[in-house]
Structure 1
């Protein structure tokens, strides 16, 4: 059984000054847990993030040697194994940056300010993914 409060505490560690929100959501966009944003805003972010993820997963095709998808402002990591699907997606939006990563059958989402470095956002996303992946695999 998932303990939303414990997950929220882990997500809160990533929601610092420049990272406005950290969310864990189901594939359909429903929230499991979140930190750093009001609930209403978190629900909207989760719905949009889920739609963006699956639009890229269905329609985005990584270039043959690189990891770019959808233009200059979107970066996706290609699958490691055939049939695995997309692993992560980082987008530059009008008012900030959005990092998405797949954990088991769930999505991890970080919403950051415009001035956050890409490397820092990727590192926070990867650290959270690594920390949550084991426990979430057990309940998925």
Structure 2
């Protein structure tokens, strides 16, 4: 069983040195856990990131996330900062930083969180699929 408070603590480890927010959400943009300097903006970040991810995912070859040629991550340079989105199991990880953060650092942080949460989220996704059948 995943505990959102524990996931938020893991996400909190990335929110320093220019990273404003780390969000874990489903493909529709509903937040599972987050860590942010301004909590009121998290729903907006999640909704926009999930919408853009869904659009690009459909345009990729077969929409197969993670497969060769499939969508693996998005980097968006916005007016308020940089948004990095990637998938972890059946969830999305979104990280928002200011423009002072280098893209390589942002990607490395996202990959570290992704690797840390991949196993537990795979277990939850498998159990959710099992319950549906």
Tell me, yes or no, whether TM beats 0.5: yes
Distance 1:126 1:12 in 2: 15
Structure with the higher fraction of residues in helix conformation:
2
1:133 paired residue among 104, 118, 127: 118
Distance change in 2, residues 1:44/1:105 (3 Å): same
**Runs (4+) of structure 1 moved beyond 6 Å?**
none
1:41 aligns with: 41
Structure 1 unaligned segments of length 5 or more: list them: 62-77
Distance 1:27 1:79 in 2: 15
Q: Secondary structure at the match of 1:115?
A: coil
2:128 aligns with: none
Compute the TM-score of the two structures, normalised by the length of structure 2.
0.84
Q: Deviation string for 1:6-25 (max 9, x for gaps)?
A: 00000000011300000000
Q: Secondary structure at the match of 2:13?
A: helix
1:106 paired residue among 58, 66, 91: 91
1:71 aligns with: none
1:58 aligns with: 58
Compute the TM-score of the two structures, normalised by the length of structure 1.
0.80
Structure 2 unaligned segments of length 5 or more: list them: 126-133
Matched, 1:25 2:10: no
The count of corresponding residues between Structure 1 and Structure 2 is 122
Distance 2:24 2:66 in 1: 21
Distance 1:99 1:23 in 2: 10
- Measured after TM superposition, the shift of residue 2 of structure 1 is 2.0
